[in-house]
Structure 1
Amino acid sequence: MAKAELKTKHQTEIEDSSSLKGTLASVFILGLFIIVSWVSVYYLFVDRF
């Protein structure tokens, strides 16, 4: 019976995550802008009545 070859010359590539730098901060800033917009429109609506 043949022996299975266990040693492979296959290197795993490490993904470069530098393209995602600042993504979390950008999402938080965008979310904060949306929340502030909704709250300001709500208070404008409530203030009219």
Structure 2
Amino acid sequence: MDKKQSDHEVNLKGTLVSVFFVGIVIVAMWVAVYLMYVAR
């Protein structure tokens, strides 16, 4: 039972890291596009 709970927590942490990573990539792309727009 404890192992299943532990695996579930690890899975949630991995999901959280993935969501943060994807969010950072999207924000970085928006910033890059904005800077290109401002620089022209």
* Structure in which a larger fraction of residues adopt helix: 2
Q: Does 1:32 align with 2:23?
A: yes
Count residues with an aligned counterpart: 34
Task: Provide structure 1 residue ranges, at least 5 long, that are not aligned to the other structure.
Answer: 1-15
TM-score (norm 2): 0.68
Question: Identity of aligned pairs, percent?
Answer: 15
Question: 1:20, CA displacement in angstroms?
Answer: 2.7
TM-score (norm 1): 0.58
Cross-structure match for 1:20: 11
Letter in 1 for 2:23: L
Moved over 2 A (4+): none
Question: 1:21, CA displacement in angstroms?
Answer: 3.9
Cross-structure match for 1:4: none
